[in-house]
Amino acid sequence: MPARARAIAGFTRRFGQPPQGVAFAPGRVNLIGEHVDYNGGLVLPMPIAAGTWVAYGPGQAGVEALALDFGAAADAFEPGQPVPHRPADWRSYLRGMAAGLAARGLPVAPARLAIAGSIPRGSGLSSSASLCVALGRAFAALAGAEWTATDLALAAQAAEHQWAGVHCGVMDQMAVAAGEPGHALLLDCSNLASRTVALPKDWAVMIVQSGVRRGLVDGHYNARRADCEAAAAALGLPSLREASLSLVEAAGLDPMVRRRARHVVEEIDRTRQAVAAIEAADLPALGRILASSHVSLRDLFEVSVPPVDDLVGVLQRTIGDAGGARMTGGGFGGAVVAVLPAALVSQVQAAVLADYRAPDGAAIQIMIEQTGGQPAGEGQ
């Protein structure tokens, strides 16, 4: 049963009546700009078709919620007095979102909620940001309010930081809250300025799960952020967004910290180059940029793992010079993203299924995202 239908059915079964409505928020795939959002950099994510649905209705007093993807696990709390749930799980995001909205002056009314999603957990496709923004949209509907995408994104980021213990940037939340289907979102994480970037319709975005489930709260993500903060402090800068490659190389940084800083500075520049390549409909150029990003994430930022590298290799060999592939998300597993001519999709899918095996032997999940611009070559 599709996730939206599961949310409606679960709500009706649990609360004895149909929901008032259903809120949705997509997941996201990041085309390029990895690990630069918390450095105030430029990123280029796009929303995907998979996401989170929250069936909602007014509550009697507090918030009552049902998580259909976790064995119909339940939670209940007073909207104005949520307390952290330990260990961190979906309830942390639920309670954290209510607290984050309240902190921004956005009241949360008593609510009944049933939650279902279609994003593979641990895939690097922002299931947590999707959950938070969908919850925010449900709470807004029940309050009869229209909260801005920025309000929702910042409340969701606060839930990650303060309630789930992940010190993430704001890219995921802004991509989910402000993105448009079929378009990338060029986001400046220093000031949240953004604009959409349409990918040509005869391109395709392919997302392939490596089969290595990743986790951000295990310390890796927070450690990389600490490395970047150490680099910025050593350079006397508020963030690595202000750094140049020549400054990084001349500063006498600890070798590991220097590698982290090099990745960030070069990745911000690659994001600019990627936007230019997309707007010129130059897919081979974009492919080279994506490949360079993966090498940097593997060798300088050290967040890739061998199965992900193998999967990127299969994709790149099959796509050839016509496009490119790289790891996407926080790293240590999760998904790989490729941008390629739509005409090659079947061939590349077949190659992945024939040549790549997940470490645990699980079936390979492949998602094809539609692009929203005009065909390449038209209007250029």
Q: Is 182 helix (H, G, I), strand (E, B) or coil?
A: coil
Catalytic residue among 37, 69, 151, 172: 172
Among residues 286, 352, 292, which one has the least CA distance to residue 322? 286
- State the number of CA atoms in the 13 A half-sphere of 76 facing the CB: 6
30's tokens:
């990041």
Among residues 330, 332, 337, 292, which one has the least CA distance to residue 315? 337
36's tokens:
């630069």
The answer to whether 313 touches 327, Cβ cutoff 8 Å, is no
Q: Tell me which amino acid residue 127 is.
A: S
Could you give the maximum distance between any two Cα atoms of the chain, in Å? 67
Q: Is 172 a catalytic residue?
A: yes
**Apex 52 CA angle, 9 and 213, nearest 5:** 115
d(CA 377, CA 99): 48
DSSP 308: H
d(CA 179, CA 185): 6
Instruction: Please give the helix or strand (H or E) that residue 258 lies within, else none.
Output: helix 255-279
d(CA 199, CA 159): 31
Give the list of residues 6+ apart from residue 272 with CB closer than 8 angstroms, or none: 42
103's tokens:
């902190």
Residue numbers annotated as active site: 172
